[in-house]
Structure 1
Amino acid sequence: MAERQAGDGTVGKALEVLDMVAGFERPVRFSEVLEDSPYPKGTLYRLFQTLTNQGMLSYDPDRQTYGLGVRLVRLAHAAWQQSSLAPIARSYVDALSQSTGETVHLAQFDHAQVLYLDKRNALNPIEMYSQAGKIGPAYCTGVGKAMMAFLGEEEVARIIAQQSFHRFTEHTLTTEAALRADLADIRVKGFGMDREEHEPGIICIAAPILTRRGRVLGGLSVTSTTAQKSLAELEALAPQVQATAQDIAVEAQNWRFPDQATDTIRAGT
């Protein structure tokens, strides 16, 4: 769930309710949300009513369940088109998946987590957690670490402070010291690896998508399995992944991606 700031007021509470409903990934009853809600029943009910009236939530009177509303879908689609790397990067993601024969992920940070924007399956699809629209941990995914490594120290510290360091596999990095050591190595190499850190048998190589001034726009990864490729074979794809990430960054600049436009203004061009 997104971190709510003090002083966000009713808008912040409403967005938190939308996050809670979305987190169920299915139609949900009011009572189910109430169980996990930090708000009193009356406050939560009023938020539900307002969000439903505004089309941000939909209500099924027969099943007495709530779901995300059509207006929210419309806004999400507009955000995907205007502020997401996905439309810009689509052709590059397609080409990288076709040339490598592997699964390709495109991602950006959502606060301290990884938001998967797009995914292209391998020629022989493999079962894994990641899907477009899903949120994943930053500390144990290749694309999360690749992006984190090129952020400023203050932002890195903020993101690290919000990681759970849960041990998903025997290879998961479970301490800040281990993660920071890996991030230092990524900064030197220019790419990161997921060595079965999030899911057993799943490995990946990832590169950050950076503006010319080094601002992180997102991340790109190629994912395979230990049954199909070794870490060394996957690492051999680094130049191709990095080149594609650079191509996406250039395209984002041409489309005047919001973060890039800020860099241009600061540069005085």
Structure 2
Amino acid sequence: MTENRTDRSEVVKIDGDTPTMRLLALLEVIAAKDQLVSLQGLVEETGLPKPTLHRMLQQLEAAGMLQRDSDGRQYGTGARLRRLAENLLLNDTIHGARHAVLRRLVEDVGESCNITALSGSEVLYLDRVETAAPLRFYLHPGSRVPAHCSASGKLFLAQMTPAQRRRLLAHAPLSQYTSRTLTELDALEAEIERVGRDGYAFDNEEFLPGLFCIAVLVPSPGGRSNMGIAIQAPIMRMTERNALDSLPALRRAASALAAIEAEHATADQTACA
């Protein structure tokens, strides 16, 4: 209701000296959400006139930065914006610091390790360090794997509400890659519930035959994280039992990555002050 909107202190300001800067400010508001947004919802949140917001949304949609849902009434991030975010993650200025953490983890556990992020319904490999062991699975940075059958993907899914998961997975069928892939939604939900409770996840030959993986999330001060770290190994060297032996080292690496992210965020805030 109008009086509730007036009383709220969290009305978002869409500021900017130029139309382009105002479009970027609106894009920031939409990109920060974990759900689709409607024109009316944005009117209530920003206080901008409906015709103005409608025009801005049309411009962002035409540029590929936003896309409308199938019903045409709600907006989410577009393919161009997602590619921009992925490129920033892959090529940002703290890549070297993250890579050093990953390299130390590989030295500790003796297996290949990678840093991941969720991109749509897929897990994107941001960085990877390979083991020196002769038998290994090679997956380079930039590789993508489906969220429903990867350890990191299950962790990202576990942060969502059931409704958010259903909406995401509705556009990405639960394809079967091996005999162990979970393709029934009820079975996947049960697995995700366990993952959310335990704080770590396995991929037990669910994406590639012979590959075992254990992953944890990198802690985020905002609560919800979009960065994971994982160990991968052939099943003759890693099982569920000895994977848990690597969990302390994995969590130490995740904490180290979180510290790097926090330091980088503080430096950005100082630079902008």
TM-score (norm. length: structure 1): 0.64
Query: Which residues of structure 1 form unaligned runs of 5+?
Result: 17-71, 262-269
Change in 2 beyond 3 A, CA 1:119/1:201: same
Residue 12 of structure 1 aligns with which residue?
64
The residue type paired with residue 64 of structure 2 is G
Instruction: Check conservation: 1:97, 1:122, Cα contact below 8 A.
Output: yes
76 and 151 in structure 1: CA distance in 2 versus 1, 3 angstrom threshold:
closer
Superposition pairs of residues 25-174 of structure 1, within 5 angstroms: 80-82=90-92, 86-128=95-137, 130-174=139-183
Task: Map 1:245-264; keep pairs closer than 5 Å.
Answer: 245-256=254-265
Q: Is the 8 A contact 1:210 1:217 kept in 2?
A: no
* Secondary structure in structure 1 of the residue aligned to 2:148: coil
Identity of paired residues, percent? 22
d(CA) in 2 for partners of 1:158, 1:88: 35
TM-aligned CA deviation for residue 166 of structure 1: 1.1
The one-letter code of the counterpart of 1:204 is C
Mean CA deviation greater in 122-131 or 238-247? 122-131
Distance 1:252 1:212, change over 3 A: same
What is the rounded CA distance, in whole Å, between the counterparts of 1:137 and 1:188 in structure 2? 22
Offset, 1:151? 3.4
Root-mean-square deviation (Å): 3.2
CA 212–229 in structure 1, closer or farther in 2 if over 3 Å, else same: same
CA distance in 2, matches of 1:88, 1:232: 31
Contact kept? 1:104, 1:221, Cα under 8 Å: yes
Pairing 1:214–2:223 present: yes
- The aligned length equals 198
Corresponding residue number in structure 2 for 1:28: none
Q: What letter is aligned with 2:153?
A: G
* Structure-1 residue corresponding to 2:31: none
Report the secondary structure of 1:256's partner residue.
Answer: helix
Taking the aligned partners of 2:150 and 2:124, their CA distance within structure 1 comes to 11
Give yes or no for contact 1:107–1:117 (8 Å, CA) kept in 2.
yes
Q: What secondary structure sits across from 1:139 in the alignment?
A: helix
The residue identity in structure 1 corresponding to 2:90 is: W
SS of equivalent to 2:265: coil
Partner of 2:10: none
Please state how far the C-alpha of 1:9 moved relative to its aligned partner. 4.6
Q: Distance in 2 between matches of 1:165 and 1:123?
A: 33
Given the two structures, how large is their TM-score scaled by the length of structure 2?
0.63
Moved more, 86-95 or 184-193: 86-95
Q: Deviations over 1:183-236 (max 9, x none)?
A: 111111110000100000100100011213422131110011112222211122
Contact 1:208 / 1:216 at 8 angstroms: preserved in 2? yes
